Structure 1
Amino acid sequence: MYKPSYQPGNYPHGQEYVKQWAALGSWFLGPKAENIDVFNNLAIEAFKGHANFRKNYFPTDSAYITPDITATDAYESEKKQLEQELATMIEQLKNSTPIFSVRFEGHMNWDTTMPGNLGYLAALLYNANNVANEASPVTTPYEIEVGNQLCEMLGYKFTESKPDPWGHITSCGSIANIEAMWACRNIKYYPFCVQKALNESKELAGAKNFEIYVPRLQSKQKLVDLCNWDLLNLDIDDIVAIPDEVINMCNGITPDDYSKIVDKNNLASLGWWKFIDLYGLENGPVVLSPMTNHYSWPKAAIMLGIGQENIIGIEFDENARMDIKDLKTKLDNCLKTKTPIISVVAVIGTTEESAVDPLADIVECRNEYKKQGLNFAINADAAWGGYFMTMLHEPTTNRRKSVAKIPVFPLSDYTTRHLLSMRDADTITVDPHKSGFCPYPAGSLCYRNGSMRGFIQVEASVVYHQGVDPSVGVWGIEGSKPGAAPAGVLLSHRDPEAMELLKAIGPDTLINAFAVNLKGNTDLKVCNDINFEVFRRLSHTNPHENIMRVPLILTSSKLKPLIYGKAVKQFKKRLGLPANTDGELGFLINTVMNPWVAELQKIKQVGSIFRQTVLDAIGMITDEPDIHRFVSPDMITDTGDLFGDHLPMFTMPAHQYHAIAKFNVPDQNAVTLIQGKYKEQSQLSSGKRLPIIFGNSKKSGLQNFLEDAMNEAIDMNFFVGMPSATNKPFLTTKVKVLDIPHRNHFDMTLTDYPAKLTYFMYGENGNAYLSHNMSMRPDVHQVVKLDKKPADVPDILLELGIDVTINNLEGKPLYIDGKIVDPLQLKEYTISYLSTDGIIAQSTIYMTNDDAKVWFDAVDE
């Protein structure tokens, strides 16, 4: 458990706090399900609407699930089984990754908007399949409308002088990227089959003199006269216009006639082997992409027969962005060797570093190189960064004043310039299920020139005529796909302030890549070990792991020198490592999609969690093995459960911990023996009574042996009172760790005590214990058994453990006659603590029993 840097009583509240977050409050279900009533009511309305649709569709049709059926034992049995299975699933799902929480800063997803979820649920029961219009007459137009909205958001223009842009929903960004390369590949090689058809087909004789602009010559030339190299370097807009222009030059030729003549010799029909042989091509194509490219790009190259090795990686600069100098070097080589380039990929917000490639500079490169005869498409992979364009829109007139209270993360001038250049990219991948805060599956692909999609159409003509699309399933990779996905995106987009709100809360591509190192350490392995240990503690991958013990969720990756080059050298230097050190550098990643994380107290809390985790991680790596002792605050249970409070020391690094664990002794004979020793001591007067002390029998780091014992029981020694040369263990037995409610490494940089006295309170089954939060040397290690669980303290908080403050006692040690003494001189105190929903609560604790004061030690006095 983490120890907050703030104390109860300082949590933000009041009118100013309410004003700051009011606009967000109506848009999300909320980290604590604050809007559950609103959501339930609206969801029920959506389900009622569907039920009414079923009831009123031919209302005279008879019912099939009749009262006679529902009254049978078989029906009731199946219904109960469904209820039980659903209850089991609901309980299992509670250990899912809590993406809705401000504590989740892992991957590129966060909470989804209520409009997005409600739109998805509203369409879910209709089970619309957007593969064909007849299966989705409502949701297909939804998808087309969403595609138009995305195109407009990204900067594509709808005009009367050229084909409109076009976009559609895909299941993910990977599918969109693969489709983008597929379309660009087919378009790149399309002029060859047209040239062949014009030379050989009598039906196309009227277009024999068809001319097309040749960038290398900066003039129009007859298509039939062009060499292979010029055919491979025409402009996309000119290529996709060929079908309409050729058909217009030929009397009586229909689009279907044209397709039958031309398409039989295109790449899609012949495949690579026959196509290359037919047209006498010498060099295979390549795709230029930054080394940070998503794995979907090499996957696309494999699937399309281009080959993974023909994804040519472009080196990074020190900021992990595409290095334009290296791009030009690769372009020069392709020009020299006459290697055709299908496309150059620009990543707008990389997965790990959130780097934005210099797209505007790539566009300038294309303009420069196509005059030399080298032309290519540009694919913008803006799966993460596309929605950041909402931050560049001008405010609408209906924007409420309260929106201004929402925290804004400004975009840099660099990022702004290259985001705006997306309008010049030929395709853009953007994921509404990432920065659009919509439910999965909702990736998308947008074409600058909507006619491009016709070149991956399998069943019909490549010719695209402006008008209403009969379906969206004939374009793209997917067949069946849910109509619910575009319905969710559309309702989220249609919210009156949706786009403006996204502008207000959108992060500045804030995926932060960072690492930590121990001051003075120059060993790469030690640095990597510390970062891995931090990640291990701040991640959730095991469904059987207690998610309540993971206070913050991050993710991680590695910088590979062969890929990251200058970037990894610079990173190592900043960490205090030799820049030329061989080996990969592990690093941590946090993704900031959560608007509430900007709240000041939350920033402090996250910082406190992370600092404590780093201290623990360093300790895990550097602690010397030793014997560790625990004091038991209470009798061991009949099932062998007992808590243990670690005996700390400030002067020895391996013991600089405030740690509490729940143990279990599986051997029943050992349990009986421990109970007997406890009872013997309880019968003595309080002044002579000794606690049960136990600990590991073999030397180990504290954290190592606690975590090892969670997986397998280990040998531990039990004593009555403190071990010594004369006080030998009365028992050695196997012990397992069930839970670790508290584990804090002392922060040895502290120079002052807290203002008020604080304890960690924990317990279960009506029993409650206090353990003093130690701050700095000297201090008090004190363990107290309360008479009973404090009233009004929720059981869940006691099981998790919470910090409590005794407001009328100072946080520094209490001295009497020059010695540190027990600060709890009274039998009862009022405590303050942070209760459920962040509310400051108070209760009373009682210590009237003579066995309340289990342990007191002035540590390093």
Structure 2
Amino acid sequence: MPAEPTAPPFQHDHVLDACFLGPYGENDALLERILVEFLRDHVYWRRNFHPEDPPAIGTAASLHPDYQAFEARMRRELHQLSAALKRSMPFHSPRYIGHMASDLLLPGLAAQMLALPYNPNNVTDEAAPVTVDLEVKVGLQLARMLGYPSDPARVDCAFGHLTSGGTLANYQALRLALALKAFPLALRTAGAPGLDLPDDDWAAFNLGNAATIDLLGRWQAWLAAQPPRERAQWHARVEAQRIEQLGIAGFFAAHPQLRLPRVLAPITAHYSWSKGVKMLGLGRAQLDLLPTHGMRLDADALAEHVQRCARERIPVLLAVAVLGSTEYGTIDPVDGVLAAREATRAQGLDFAVHVDAAWGGYLATIFRHEDGSLREREAIAAEFKYFPSPPLYRAFAALADTDSVTVDPHKLGYLPFGSGAFVCRDHRAMDLLAERADYIFHGEAPRDYLQRFRSLGQFIPEGSKSGAAAAGVYVAHQVLPLDHRNFGRMPRSTVRCTELFYERAQRFAAQVAGYLHARVPFEPDSNLVCLAFNPRGNRSLAQANAFLWRLYERLRPDVHQPLQVKEFFGSVTTLRPELVGAGPAHEILTSLGIDADADADSDGGALVVLRHTLMNPWLIDRENGISYIDRYFDFLMRCTAALLDRNPPA
């Protein structure tokens, strides 16, 4: 039997001490100095823009009664807001282990606050001459982290941009996948010459992203060589046949032998995919949710599903792998999704592969050297006790071969909300999403990479967007480059804490075994761990869930009470049989002493569990010798014993 793996020493990382404001506000003086320095710098900038202009606000203005009354109203409202915000969740504290939020990185927070008074609008370089460049560079930073080509000199360099969050980034993935899939048909229907197009609509609709991007380049080169009038005529002729012009209904009416394409995703995928297919006009019926194995996409089920699609000539638009599910943090076999696509290409079925890494994307920093190359699994494993398993390593290694990725800097990037990101592997595909707005964008699109994307609004869903958010993400990545020696310090620390939490959960289960069933229903892949409970002697799923809800009352916020009355904050979710699989769900319930067969219809068969997001860097406080993980399980022991009228174990 192999020896129990040994965890490496858990040492205090003093770099992390400077990264955040801190649970106790320890770095308040640092943040205050930065903000005052750059507020003054902003004011000096204003004063030195045409200093010959006189001040528009007189020096005596502050003495006028109307001025003073306005200031008093403003101060009153700000004081009321400040008081109300004290009821906010204490995301900064290691006592908060609920949703996907934690303290904010100081460089990102300070940079965003620094940029706010300039109010840049990252739709075009005319409204944001500085921060548009920063956003394009953020895309390159993220591309490098994922293993995509990130050198703008490369013809196939990746491209990324920020969004309000992962939902909009996933929608952008759908838009781009549909544009790529439909474009060869537009060329074929328009009779575009000299391009060696596929013989029929099915083949054209399944050309594949790389081939379509090559086709797009050849079409653009042919157009450029034509006289201006012919160029305009051919451009208009092809545009008239594009799905973006005809719409879903018109496009498929023009190609009646084609069926609406399907989007494939694991049943654990975020509900943004349901939103996305509706927004795109495909409809919810075209979203096929596939089963999981151990809460991770069942690669065999996916392979069988796409084989059936190939046999029945059902187009597939996009297959989604989730790199860190929102509810459970589990990581799908990205390599298995790519293998399923490769197997169906010979049968004439091709589709895009997108990774929804809104949660787990920044874990990729653990897997990257400073030069962007992939680290060996053995080197990574030496830093942990269990992480990464071979399947998990293969999933991260396969990111480089996917077509697009969603990443949320406002999750494991520790940056303010409103900072999601979409990254596609080849920037040339973005030509198919380009929109024209003559009052903003002028002239032909430049071919230089950075110059081209300065007109960012042509390519993104938004019409206006915060440049300050881009400044925050860019500066955070510059201070902490996205590799294992820099940014990787944070996910490394929290994954180590997750391993400790997992082991502490096993000890807790043994300690309370006399009066409570407790277990981790499935092993964690990332920084999320779930816990399931059931009082000893209870066989009812409904009663087990009722007990969990009573326990959760000790962990949930209460707007009618001060935050300080709560020792810890957590969250809950449900394990539904359709998510887990009937067999694993039955095994979990049985292991908890619940009669799964007798109570199968209760609560829809769903088991309520505690969900813990372990992303705070100070869950293990080496400075003060405190383990908030131990404190949390001591708290759980007291709470569960009290709810069952038992004395907590010694």
TM-score (norm 2): 0.85
**For each residue in 1:710-754, what CA deviation from the matched residue of structure 2 results, as whole angstroms up to 9, or x when unmatched?**
xxxxxxxxxxxxxxxxxxxxxxxxxxxxxxxxxxxx42x33xxxx
> Gaps spanning 5+ residues in structure 1: where?
1-15, 199-203, 212-222, 398-403, 620-652, 657-745, 751-861
> Gaps spanning 5+ residues in structure 2: where?
1-8, 373-379, 438-442, 496-525
- 1:192 and 2:192 aligned: no
Q: Which of 472, 493, 500 is the aligned partner of 2:456?
A: 472
Rounded Cα–Cα distance in structure 2 between residues aligned with 1:71 and 1:178? 53
Q: Which of 335, 342, 346 is the aligned partner of 1:371?
A: 346
Rounded Cα–Cα distance in structure 1 between residues aligned with 2:45 and 2:227? 46
Rounded Cα–Cα distance in structure 1 between residues aligned with 2:292 and 2:446? 39
8 Å CA contact 1:163–1:466 kept in 2: the answer is no
8 Å CA contact 1:301–1:310 kept in 2: the answer is yes
- 1:518 and 2:500 aligned: no
SS in 1 for 2:609: strand
- 1:536 and 2:553 aligned: yes
**Residue 504 (structure 1) aligns with:** 489
**Residue 23 (structure 1) aligns with:** 15
- In structure 2, relative to structure 1, the CA distance for the partners of 1:613 and 1:463 (3 Å cut) is farther
8 Å CA contact 1:408–1:505 kept in 2: the answer is no
Q: Equivalences for 1:414-425 in 2 at 5 Å?
A: 414-425=391-402
**Residue 446 (structure 1) aligns with:** 423
**Residue 577 (structure 2) aligns with:** 561
Q: Which of 565, 572, 575 is the aligned partner of 1:549?
A: 565
SS in 2 for 1:300: helix
- In structure 2, relative to structure 1, the CA distance for the partners of 1:257 and 1:382 (3 Å cut) is farther
Length, aligned pairs only:
579
8 Å CA contact 1:451–1:464 kept in 2: the answer is no
Q: Which segment drifts farther, 124-133 or 447-456? A: 447-456
Q: Cα distance, 1:67 vs. partner? A: 2.3
Q: Which of 226, 232, 235 is the aligned partner of 1:252?
A: 226
**For each residue in 1:609-666, what CA deviation from the matched residue of structure 2 results, as whole angstroms up to 9, or x when unmatched?**
22222223x33xxxxxxxxxxxxxxxxxxxxxxxxxxxxxxxxx4xx6xxxxxxxxxx
8 Å CA contact 2:541–2:596 kept in 1: the answer is no
Rounded Cα–Cα distance in structure 1 between residues aligned with 2:58 and 2:90? 41
8 Å CA contact 2:140–2:150 kept in 1: the answer is no
Rounded Cα–Cα distance in structure 2 between residues aligned with 1:464 and 1:233? 30
**For each residue in 1:799-840, what CA deviation from the matched residue of structure 2 results, as whole angstroms up to 9, or x when unmatched?**
xxxxxxxxxxxxxxxxxxxxxxxxxxxxxxxxxxxxxxxxxx
Q: Cα distance, 1:68 vs. partner? A: 2.9
Q: Cα distance, 1:462 vs. partner? A: 11
> Which amino acid counterpart does residue 391 of structure 2 have in structure 1?
Y
- In structure 2, relative to structure 1, the CA distance for the partners of 1:101 and 1:396 (3 Å cut) is farther
Larger gyration radius, structure 1 or structure 2? 1
- In structure 2, relative to structure 1, the CA distance for the partners of 1:503 and 1:412 (3 Å cut) is farther
Rounded Cα–Cα distance in structure 1 between residues aligned with 2:579 and 2:480? 45
- In structure 2, relative to structure 1, the CA distance for the partners of 1:245 and 1:293 (3 Å cut) is same
Q: Cα distance, 1:230 vs. partner? A: 0.7
**Residue 175 (structure 1) aligns with:** 168
- In structure 2, relative to structure 1, the CA distance for the partners of 1:291 and 1:473 (3 Å cut) is same
Q: Equivalences for 1:430-829 in 2 at 5 Å?
A: 430-459=407-436, 465-467=447-449, 468=451, 469-495=453-479, 499=483, 500-506=485-491, 507-508=494-495, 509-540=526-557, 542-565=558-581, 566-580=583-597, 581-582=599-600, 583-599=605-621, 601-616=627-642, 618-619=643-644, 653=645, 746-747=647-648, 749-750=649-650
8 Å CA contact 2:141–2:150 kept in 1: the answer is no
Q: Equivalences for 1:100-119 in 2 at 5 Å?
A: 100-119=92-111
Rounded Cα–Cα distance in structure 2 between residues aligned with 1:496 and 1:428? 21
- 1:313 and 2:289 aligned: yes
Q: Cα distance, 1:408 vs. partner? A: 6.3
User: Which has a greater percent of helix?
Assistant: 2
- 1:292 and 2:301 aligned: no
**Residue 363 (structure 2) aligns with:** 388
**For each residue in 1:456-484, what CA deviation from the matched residue of structure 2 results, as whole angstroms up to 9, or x when unmatched?**
22217998834222321111211111101
> Which amino acid counterpart does residue 234 of structure 1 have in structure 2?
L
User: Which has a greater percent of strand?
Assistant: 1
> Which amino acid counterpart does residue 28 of structure 1 have in structure 2?
F
**Residue 274 (structure 1) aligns with:** 250
8 Å CA contact 1:112–1:437 kept in 2: the answer is yes
- In structure 2, relative to structure 1, the CA distance for the partners of 1:176 and 1:75 (3 Å cut) is same
Q: Which of 403, 410, 425 is the aligned partner of 1:426?
A: 403
- In structure 2, relative to structure 1, the CA distance for the partners of 1:567 and 1:48 (3 Å cut) is farther
Rounded Cα–Cα distance in structure 2 between residues aligned with 1:556 and 1:232? 43
Q: Cα distance, 1:258 vs. partner? A: 4.7
> Which amino acid counterpart does residue 266 of structure 1 have in structure 2?
R
Rounded Cα–Cα distance in structure 2 between residues aligned with 1:156 and 1:73? 60
> Which amino acid counterpart does residue 424 of structure 1 have in structure 2?
D
SS in 2 for 1:553: coil
8 Å CA contact 2:159–2:424 kept in 1: the answer is yes
Q: Which of 296, 301, 326 is the aligned partner of 2:301?
A: 326
Q: Which segment drifts farther, 465-474 or 56-65? A: 465-474
**Residue 165 (structure 1) aligns with:** 158
8 Å CA contact 2:252–2:259 kept in 1: the answer is no
SS in 1 for 2:296: coil
Rounded Cα–Cα distance in structure 1 between residues aligned with 2:412 and 2:322? 15
8 Å CA contact 1:515–1:586 kept in 2: the answer is yes
- In structure 2, relative to structure 1, the CA distance for the partners of 1:166 and 1:462 (3 Å cut) is farther
> Which amino acid counterpart does residue 322 of structure 2 have in structure 1?
V
**Residue 718 (structure 1) aligns with:** none
**For each residue in 1:16-39, what CA deviation from the matched residue of structure 2 results, as whole angstroms up to 9, or x when unmatched?**
99x724221111110000010111
Counting aligned pairs with the same residue, the percent is 28
- In structure 2, relative to structure 1, the CA distance for the partners of 1:118 and 1:76 (3 Å cut) is same
Q: Which of 334, 337, 340 is the aligned partner of 2:315?
A: 340
SS in 2 for 1:589: strand
- In structure 2, relative to structure 1, the CA distance for the partners of 1:279 and 1:527 (3 Å cut) is same
TM-score (norm 1): 0.64
Rounded Cα–Cα distance in structure 2 between residues aligned with 1:190 and 1:116? 39
Rounded Cα–Cα distance in structure 2 between residues aligned with 1:50 and 1:134? 20
8 Å CA contact 2:38–2:114 kept in 1: the answer is yes
Rounded Cα–Cα distance in structure 2 between residues aligned with 1:494 and 1:412? 30
> Which amino acid counterpart does residue 393 of structure 1 have in structure 2?
R
> Which amino acid counterpart does residue 428 of structure 2 have in structure 1?
S
Q: Cα distance, 1:249 vs. partner? A: 3.7
> Which amino acid counterpart does residue 478 of structure 1 have in structure 2?
E
- 1:264 and 2:240 aligned: yes
**For each residue in 1:267-316, what CA deviation from the matched residue of structure 2 results, as whole angstroms up to 9, or x when unmatched?**
11111222112222341111010001111101010011111121101101
Q: Cα distance, 1:496 vs. partner? A: 5.3
Rounded Cα–Cα distance in structure 1 between residues aligned with 2:27 and 2:100? 23
**For each residue in 1:362-398, what CA deviation from the matched residue of structure 2 results, as whole angstroms up to 9, or x when unmatched?**
111111111111111001000111100110123689x
Rounded Cα–Cα distance in structure 1 between residues aligned with 2:482 and 2:271? 31
Q: Cα distance, 1:329 vs. partner? A: 2.3
- In structure 2, relative to structure 1, the CA distance for the partners of 1:571 and 1:299 (3 Å cut) is same
> Which amino acid counterpart does residue 386 of structure 1 have in structure 2?
G
SS in 2 for 1:473: helix
Q: Equivalences for 1:58-77 in 2 at 5 Å?
A: 58-77=50-69
**For each residue in 1:481-519, what CA deviation from the matched residue of structure 2 results, as whole angstroms up to 9, or x when unmatched?**
110111001111111567434312204411112211112
> Which amino acid counterpart does residue 168 of structure 1 have in structure 2?
H
Rounded Cα–Cα distance in structure 2 between residues aligned with 1:549 and 1:340? 55
> Which amino acid counterpart does residue 641 of structure 2 have in structure 1?
L
Rounded Cα–Cα distance in structure 2 between residues aligned with 1:181 and 1:76? 53
